[in-house]
Structure 1
C-alpha cells in the first residue's frame, strides 16, 4: 500500500491520483445484496481516504474503462470457484477484482482489501482508522485467495457487538445465525405454561416430576416441540441453525422410558440424541444443534447424530494454563471429542477464554489460543463459539477478539505478525510495552505453575502469577506504556483500560489482606484514607471502558462501589478471638477458603461473594474449636452464615455453641434451630448471636449442622449443600 507518489510506478493500478479517479466500480447487472453492499463500502472508504467518488454502475452499463469489479461479474479473473464466505482479491492489467463465495464473502473481500492494501484498520468497536492520501496505488499483480477454515466463527467480546467489526474480521454472531440458541428446552416448553397442568412433560428426579429438564420420552413433548419449530421456522426461514438443548445444570429424566434409552446408550446423552434426531428428521432442510455439555458430554453408544444435526461440545471443565491438547484437566474433553468425531462430521466447539467470576481479572491464556484452534481444526471441527466476556469489557477483550478472529479464519496464521499488527494498530507507540506486559503474564503463569480457572478468583492466585511482587512488575510495564502513548488521547485511553485489570486485582486482593500489608485497612482496622476515592475512580474508569458487569450476572460498577461502601461502614471487631487459632473436625474446601481456618478469626466479614472471607465446608457439618489462649470472660458469641442457593450454599439447620476450660470437656451454652428456607435465590447474609453472660472459658466450639440434602426446589443430582461461615466474634 502506497499513498504519496503523483505518478504510478510500473505494475501498479492508479486507483486515485491527486484526488481524482478514472475508475468506476462495476457490480453484476443483477447484484446480490452482499455485492451491492460491498461496492458501497469500497466506494465510501475510497472517498474517505482520497476524496475521490467512484461511480457504482451495473455491468450492463460498463464500457471499456479502468474498473474495480466487485462480485461475480462476467468480467472476471482468478479461481473459477470460491468456497462459501471465501474471497479473492486480484489485479490484472488496469483492473481490480474483488470476488466472493456465497454469503458475505465479497464483503469480507472488500474489507480485506481496505486493510491489506489501502491502510485502513478497525481493531475494535467504533470508527475505523482511515488514512488520508491524494493518491491510492495498488499492486498490479495481486492474486489473494482466502477461504475460511471453519464454517462458524464467533468471538464473544464487546467488539463483536459492532456490525462492521464483524464483517471486517469475518466473524459471526449467534443472534444472526440461530433461530433458537443455547439452552433451549424451556423456550420450547416453558414450565410457567405447562408444568402445573402437565408435570409429566418434565424430568423425573428422585421419584418426583420437577421442572429441571424435559422428559424426552413423552410423546406430547415431541409433538409440542415439532409444532413449535413449524411455526418458528415459518416465521424465520433464513435462520441457519436451531438449538434443541437441555437447560444448564443437571436433572436428567429418570422415568422408565428415558432410563431404558439411557441404559442402551450409556447415559442421558442417549435419550437426547434420539429426541433431537427424531425432531430433525421432520425438517430435513434445516440444521439443528444440541449441546454436548455436562451430563450429555459423552457420545452415545449407538445412536449417531442425524445428517442435519450438529453437536456443540463444551470445553468447560478444562483449566486454561496449558493447551487443551495436553492439559490433564482436558483429558475427558479430548476423549469426548474423539468419540463424537468418529460418529459425525458436524462438530462445533463451545470454548471459553475468560474468567466468568471476574471478567476484569488478567486471564493469560493468550499463548494457548493458536494451539487450541489448531487442535479443533485437526479434529475436523466445523465451528467455534469462543465465549469471552460478552457485551461487557473484560481482560484484553479487544486483543482476544482480534486474535481469535484471525485464527478462526486461518489457524496457521503467523502469530508474531498478528500480534504485531494488533498491538501497533491499537496501542500505537505503547505497543512494545503492552507486548511485554502480556509476555510477562504468560511467563509468570508457567514459572509459578499457576492454575487458570474460568471460575477462579484473583485471591486464589495471590501466591503465583498475581502476587503483589509480580503485580508491581506488570504495573511498571504499563507505566512505560502510558508514557509512550504521550498525549494521544486514544492510545492513553486504551492503556488506561488495560491498567483496569491490575487495579481490579489490587482492590479484590485488598479484601483478603484486610489490615495486613496490601489491605484496604490500616493496622488499627480503620479504612485507608485514599481507598474510597480509589474505588470511585476505578468505577468511573470501568464505565468509560464499557464495563457493564464485573462477572457473569454480577455487579455493575455502581453496585461495586455500593458494596465497597458497605465494607467501609463496617465496624472493626476487636474480638477476644481475633487472630487466635482454629481447629476443624471436617476439612474446609481449599479452593474456596484461601485463608483456611484463619478465615473465622481474621477480623474481616465475608460479603455476598462466597469466594472472599468465607470458610467453605462442603457436604459436612462445620465443627470449629477456637482457642483463645487463656481463660476469658465471655458475654456473647456472634457469627454469620451465607445463603446462596445458586451455588448450593445454605444456612445450617442447627447451630450449637459450647465452651470449655481445657479443650476436652465442653459445656453446652446455647443452641438455635434454623428453619429450612423456602425457594429463594437471593444472596443473603444471616447473622446469629449467642448470649453467654459472664461465662469463663478458653475454648469455644461452634457446631453448625449441614442440611442432610438440598431442598426440593434446588435439587440437582450429584450436588450436596455447602456451609459458609464467617466471622466468629467473641465479646
Structure 2
C-alpha cells in the first residue's frame, strides 16, 4: 500500500507537469526497463558534478532497475542525454542568474539539463529532480523512498530555476545526523561552516590556562576580576585572539565563518575602558562589536560572526559591523503561540532586528522551535514556522539557525525538520501541501489522523489562550491546551492513527513515536495530580488517608521508556536526564512510602506571593502529600526574591513532635537554600511560640549541582493548630553567580507536621 500510494503521488505530479506543458510530449528516460538516455558530464567535471551524476545514475537504477552510462561531453555523440553541470550543451539555458548554491533543471524535447551554482548547487539540483520529477522522497534519517517504475518520463520544455532564500540554512534535529538528508534538503551544519562556533570566548582564551596568572584578561564584575567573560579592552586579550585565529584559520582554511562571542551567561566587564565604550554605544554590545571589528580587520578574507544575545542584543548607537562581520540575533525571549512579526512577547526582538538591519545587511537569526525544558512535550508552533521565516526574509536576514532538539528525538521532530528545511530554501513554498505530503508519506493511512491531531493541538492553543514557552512544561498548560479533557480528545485521534497503521509495523512504530509527547504529558501531569484524579496514586486506606501507586503505572512508565529508546530519545530536556534516568526517577517515586502528614491539605496562607508560572498548585503545594524532585517546575512552592513566610492552619489542635521540610538548591536556575529557618506554633493563630531556628551557610564558591536539602525540627509534643515557617531568602546573588537583573529564589516542599 505504501508503494501504491507513492506511485499515485508520482503519477499525479507527472500529470500536473504534463498539464502545464500542453501539447508537448514527455521525455522518456527509461522505457520498459531499458535506458534511453546517457548522463553527460563536462570534460573536466568538478568533484560535485561527478558526485551528482553518480547519484542520478544510482537512483534511476533503484527506480527502474536500469542504469544509464556516464560519459564526458568530449565523448558525446548526439545521444539522448541528461547533461549534468557546466556543459556547453546546457549553456543555452544559462541566461538567468543562478545565485549562490542555486540551480536550474531544464529540458527541451529530448534532453534534460541540470546545472548548479556554487558549492553543492548541482547536487541540490539532482536531488530536487529526483523528488519533484521522479517521485523520490527523503522523509527523515531513514533510507530514501524510491518508487518502482520500469518507465520513467519527465516533462519536456521545462525551466525550473531555484535560488536559496538564505545563504545559511540549518535545522537542528536528529535528521541532521544523516548526511544524505542534509544534502537532499539543502541544509548545512555549523561544524561544516564554522571554524569556531557560538559562545566562543573561553574556547579562545580558556580560564583554566590564563586566569590564575592573568586575571586582568577576564571581566571585572562587582569590583573583582572573575572568569565569566573577557575584558575586551585589554590589549593582550586582543593579541591572544588574533594569534589564536591565525593558527586556527591555518589549520582549517575551508571554514567559512569564525565566531567571536560572549559565553552563555552574564558577567560582562565593567572596567573603566570597557565602560567608556559601553556608555558611548548604549550598552555592552559596544565593547563587543568594537573588539570583533578590530579582530576582523586583521583577517579581511575571512567572515566573522558574533552574537546579539541577552546583554548584547541591542544594536549600538554609533558603531557598525565591519563588512566581514555577521550579527547573529537571538529570538530567545519570545513565546511561540503567535507569529514573531506580531507577538507582544517578540516586540523587543523586532525592535532589535530593525535596529541591526538599519546598520548592516549581514544578519543571521538564532531561532527556536522546541521546548528545551521538555523536548517531548507537545509544542504546536507548526502553523507559525512559515510566517516566522517569511518575516526574517522580509527583513533581509541572510541565514537562520533553527534550533530544535539537536540529536535527541522530540515532539514531531521529523515533520518540523522536513518543513523547516523546505521553507529555509523557499519561504513561499506551499507549507500545507508540504505537511500533507509528509504526513501521508511518512505515516501512510495514519497520516490523516496525525493531521487531525496536529490541527486539534493548534486550535486548542488558540481557543484556550495558552502560551508556548520554550522553557515551559506540561503542567503549565494543564488548564489550557494540555488539559486532561483535551488530552483524551487527542488520544482518540491517535488511537485511530494506530488502528489505521496496524498492518504496517514501520508506520505503526512512527505513530507510537508521535504519541510519545502525549504520553509524556500524562506521566508528568500525574506527578502534579498525585493522589487526585489523573494522578499516579490511588487510595490505600480510607481511615488513615494513605495512598499507594496505581497498579498499572510502573508498566506504563516502562513502556514509555522503551519507546523513547526506540525513537532515539537520548535526553528529555536540554542537559537533562536520559530515558534510563527518567525511569530511575519514577522508581524512586514508586518506592517512596506515603507519609501521614498532620497538615495534609491544610489551609496555607503566605505573607509574600509565590511565582504562579512555577507553582500551579498555589499555596497547597506545601501540604499536598507530594514531594518535589530536582526539577523546580514540579511540586515546589517557588518564591522569587522574597522570604517565604507560610502559616499552616490544621483546623484544630494536634500533638506535634516534629516539623520537617525540604528546600531545593539549584544555582543554575538561581534557586538557593534559605539563609535561616524559623518554625513557630500557635493554638489560636495570634500568639506564636518558637519551636526552633536554624542558620544555613550560603555557598561560598561555585557549585551548580541541583540537590534537595531536608531541615527538621523536633518538638516536645506541642499541642497547636497553627504552624508558621519563615525561610529567609539569600539577600543577593553570590559573587560567583552573576545573573544580571536576577534575584535569588526559594523553593520549598513538602512541609510535614508529624
* Aligned 8 A contact 1:91 1:141 in 2: yes
Tell me the equivalent position of 1:75. Answer: 89
Secondary structure in 2 matching 1:313: strand
Tell me the equivalent position of 1:709. Answer: 732
* Aligned 8 A contact 1:3 1:136 in 2: no
1:695 aligns to 2:718 (yes or no): yes
Deviation at 1:2, TM superposition (A): 5.1
Secondary structure in 1 matching 2:29: strand
Tell me the equivalent position of 2:338. Answer: 322
Rounded Cα–Cα distance in structure 1 between residues aligned with 2:345 and 2:28: 56
Tell me the equivalent position of 2:747. Answer: 724
Tell me the equivalent position of 1:156. Answer: 172
Which whole-Å deviations, capped at 9, do the CAs of 1:268-320 have from their partners, x for residues lacking one? 00000000000001111111000000000000000000001000100000001
Tell me the equivalent position of 2:298. Answer: 282
Select the residue among 460, 463, 486 that pairs with 2:476: 460
Secondary structure in 2 matching 1:522: strand
Rounded Cα–Cα distance in structure 1 between residues aligned with 2:220 and 2:306: 21
Select the residue among 584, 608, 613 that pairs with 1:562: 584
* Aligned 8 A contact 2:107 2:158 in 1: yes
1:343 aligns to 2:365 (yes or no): no
Deviation at 1:533, TM superposition (A): 0.7
| Residues 84-483 of structure 1: pairs in structure 2 closer than 5 A | 84-483=100-499
* Aligned 8 A contact 1:3 1:135 in 2: no
1:11 aligns to 2:11 (yes or no): no
* Aligned 8 A contact 1:205 1:251 in 2: yes
Tell me the equivalent position of 1:31. Answer: 45
Which whole-Å deviations, capped at 9, do the CAs of 1:669-699 have from their partners, x for residues lacking one? 1111112234322111111111012111111
Instruction: Please identify, of 704-713 and 532-541, the stretch whose mean Cα deviation from structure 2 is larger.
Output: 704-713
Deviation at 1:244, TM superposition (A): 0.5
Unaligned runs of 5+ in 2: 1-9, 541-546
* Aligned 8 A contact 2:335 2:346 in 1: yes
Rounded Cα–Cα distance in structure 2 between residues aligned with 1:627 and 1:158: 51
1:656 aligns to 2:683 (yes or no): no
Tell me the equivalent position of 1:665. Answer: 687
Secondary structure in 1 matching 2:736: helix
Which whole-Å deviations, capped at 9, do the CAs of 1:571-619 have from their partners, x for residues lacking one? 1111000000111111111111111110000000000100000011111
Deviation at 1:653, TM superposition (A): 1.2
Rounded Cα–Cα distance in structure 2 between residues aligned with 1:378 and 1:612: 41
Secondary structure in 2 matching 1:526: strand
Rounded Cα–Cα distance in structure 1 between residues aligned with 2:414 and 2:153: 30
TM-score, normalized by length of structure 2? 0.95
Rounded Cα–Cα distance in structure 2 between residues aligned with 1:86 and 1:709: 55
Tell me the equivalent position of 2:608. Answer: 586
Instruction: Please identify, of 575-584 and 679-688, the stretch whose mean Cα deviation from structure 2 is larger.
Output: 679-688
1:633 aligns to 2:667 (yes or no): no
Rounded Cα–Cα distance in structure 1 between residues aligned with 2:508 and 2:217: 57
Rounded Cα–Cα distance in structure 2 between residues aligned with 1:291 and 1:139: 47
Secondary structure in 1 matching 2:273: helix
Select the residue among 19, 26, 35 that pairs with 1:21: 35
Secondary structure in 1 matching 2:364: strand
Rounded Cα–Cα distance in structure 1 between residues aligned with 2:12 and 2:520: 43
Which whole-Å deviations, capped at 9, do the CAs of 1:609-646 have from their partners, x for residues lacking one? 00000011111111111111111110000101111111
CA RMSD of aligned residues (A): 1.4
Rounded Cα–Cα distance in structure 2 between residues aligned with 1:130 and 1:436: 27
* Aligned 8 A contact 2:13 2:133 in 1: no
Rounded Cα–Cα distance in structure 2 between residues aligned with 1:194 and 1:429: 61
Secondary structure in 1 matching 2:170: strand
1:598 aligns to 2:620 (yes or no): yes
Which whole-Å deviations, capped at 9, do the CAs of 1:412-442 have from their partners, x for residues lacking one? 1112211121111111111111111111000
1:537 aligns to 2:559 (yes or no): yes
Tell me the equivalent position of 1:623. Answer: 645
Rounded Cα–Cα distance in structure 1 between residues aligned with 2:680 and 2:473: 35
Unaligned runs of 5+ in 1: none
Deviation at 1:486, TM superposition (A): 3.3
TM-score, normalized by length of structure 1? 0.98
Rounded Cα–Cα distance in structure 2 between residues aligned with 1:699 and 1:22: 91
Deviation at 1:22, TM superposition (A): 3.4
Instruction: Please identify, of 198-207 and 673-682, the stretch whose mean Cα deviation from structure 2 is larger.
Output: 673-682
Rounded Cα–Cα distance in structure 1 between residues aligned with 2:207 and 2:322: 28
Instruction: Please identify, of 392-401 and 129-138, the stretch whose mean Cα deviation from structure 2 is larger.
Output: 129-138
Rounded Cα–Cα distance in structure 1 between residues aligned with 2:137 and 2:749: 52
Deviation at 1:141, TM superposition (A): 2.0
Tell me the equivalent position of 1:50. Answer: 64
Rounded Cα–Cα distance in structure 2 between residues aligned with 1:479 and 1:74: 57
Secondary structure in 1 matching 2:668: helix
